[in-house]
Amino acid sequence: MPQDCRRLLESEFAEHAEVLARTREAVREPFQALLTACRQSLSAGGKILFCGNGGSAGDAQHLAAELVCRYKVNRRALAAIALTTDSSILTATANDFSYDQVFSRQIEALARPNDLLIAISTSGRSPSIIAALDAAKAAGAVAAGFTGRDGGLMVGRADPLIIVPSEITARIQEMHSLLGHILCDALEQSIL
């Protein structure tokens, strides 16, 4: 392996390990609160809605699929929807209103009081994510989120809010994926 590749690997793994250690400590309480809220929503007949942009849209779709299909074991499907998947709704809303409303319009149509939104934004500043959180609250749903950095505009809007203590988008996304998998595992175990 070339020396520059070896240095890159070591640097990336070291950075990941450092963010992982900080995240482990930072998210204990908000993660427990998120898990409790998800369990309450599902047991009350509600659903979990996910949204995000870019890589976070991929995370939203991934986590919804883990809950509807399965994570580790075959079990009954859990009610989850990724608001990032209907291209007709997304493009019509962006065209007729604004991109900032691509999730909030869907939440207005779909969210009910026993539902829970998990909005995902690495910066915590995405206008479409902020509008989604506000719409979830207006619908009487729990407005929760995954973010990074200082939490951005999601602080005070999302509760519970998981904040990954990093400024690096890739590391924040890696922690969101890990935490999302842990959440799916815990929810799956709770119904078995």
pLDDT tens for 129-173 read: 999 999 999 999 999 999 999 999 999 999 999 999 999 999 999
Q: Which amino acid is at 171?
A: R
Mean pLDDT by runs of 10 across the 192 residues of the chain is 88 97 97 98 98 98 98 96 98 98 98 98 98 98 98 98 98 98 96 81
**DSSP class of 77:** P
pLDDT of residue 184: 98
pLDDT of residue 192: 77
pLDDT of residue 3: 82
Instruction: Give all strands (DSSP E) within 78-134, no chain letters.
Output: 80-82, 116-120
- Distance between first and last Cα of the chain: 46
| Cβ atoms of residues 172 and 149 within 8 Å | yes
pLDDT of residue 56: 98
Domains and CATH numbers, the chain: 3-191 (3.40.50.10490)
Q: Long-range contacts of range 21-28, CB-CB < 8 Å, 24 or more positions apart?
A: 22/165, 22/166, 23/164, 23/165, 23/166, 23/175, 23/179, 26/163, 26/164, 26/165, 27/162, 27/163, 27/164, 27/179
